[in-house]
Amino acid sequence: MALHLAGAALALIGGKPRTVVGSRKSQLAMIQTNMVLAELRSLFPDRVFEVQTMETLGDRVLDVALSKIGAKSLFTGELEELLAAGAIDLIVHSLKDLPTTLPEGLRLGAIGKREDPRDSVIFRKDKMATHASLADLPAGAWIGTSSLRRVAQLKAKYPGLNFESVRGNLNTRLKKLDTSTDDGPELKRYSALVLAAAGVIRMGWKDRIGEYLENDTCLHAVGQGSIGLECREGDDVTAGLLDKLNHQGSALRCHAERAFMRSLEGGCSVPLGTWTEVDLQAGGKLKIMGAVYSVDGQTSARGSVEVVLKQHSKAEAEAAGVQLADLLKSRGAMAILEAIPRENINAAPAMPK
């Protein structure tokens, strides 16, 4: 991939250096981008920060389940092309959307402080007063989620519930939920959605969360709840800005999780979950749990690793993730992943015109 070190950052506006920040157009993406911009503008008042937005492939293709679109960079690839070309200087990502292997010439420059990484259950408005858990729903109830990982785990826990992919931004999905009815057409009778708690909280909808899914019910996605900031290799100016935004504890957890996924050659469309804890006050103790699942949730390989990060370093955290991946491989993880029907993760749809 060609590297343009001139970049947008060298441009001046009114004598001030400029940094161009890339983001998706969705409301949640812009909320997260504005959070980052507020920090950057506070830390670097003598620099101008501008935003360039775009719709990505994952934003445009809404009639196909994420697991069937096939590409690994659904929400990131087109922004990364702009970054590599020097048209923008950094990208604000939901870290769970960012592949664990980045294009040549690009790097993960910082990981912001993590919001709650758990998944959450949003009940339809007319059920909020009577339902506090998925366990309260009657057999046959329909749950909307776009994640194979969630479906695999929740099918095993709640075999009587039905699961259907629901796509679109959070506003769209919430509208689909609240306009559903129990006597509506099949697949449109959503009783609840399962969404990342972090996105719901950042949208200001925390009061809609009826249940948080703990790690004994649903391990969360790699990087979930974290904001990842991507920049070019060799762009020391932008790297220096991002250094100030890196949150050490969150970064160590996410580096371990990403190394775990990378070692299993997984992606965001694979039924793979994780959970991490780190205590930098207790000698840098890091615990990482993880599992891979069959699509029906009936077969899994799981385990956990606990280490002490003596140097509190990225390399140590990644080594812990690799150690967990090796443990799961010894327990049959690769056989489970290889048995996943390819149409569940590789079938690419026709692009919209």
| Mean pLDDT computed over every residue of the chain | 87
| Residue 19, pLDDT score | 97
Q: Which residue has the higher pLDDT, 186 or 328?
A: 328
3 state DSSP class of 9:
helix
Is the predicted pLDDT of residue 209 greater than 90, yes or no?
yes
Q: Give the model confidence (pLDDT) of 262-311 as tens digits.
A: 999 765 568 999 999 999 987 899 999 999 999 989 999 999 999 999 99
In the Cβ-directed half-sphere of 67, how many Cα atoms lie within 13 Å? 23
Residues 119 and 150: beta-carbon distance below 8 Å? yes
| Residue 7, pLDDT score | 52
Domains, the chain, ordered by start? 1-112+226-246 (3.40.190.10), 119-213 (3.40.190.10), 247-345 (3.30.160.40)
| Residue 266, pLDDT score | 63
Q: Which residue has the higher pLDDT, 338 or 185?
A: 338
- Of the pLDDT bands very low, low, confident and very high (cuts 50, 70, 90), residue 341 is confident
Q: Give the model confidence (pLDDT) of 154-172 as tens digits.
A: 999 999 999 998 877 888 8
β strands within 214-347, DSSP E: 227-232, 272-279, 285-293, 300-308
Residue 279 known to be catalytic: no
Catalytic residue chosen out of the listed positions 46, 59, 89, 97: 97
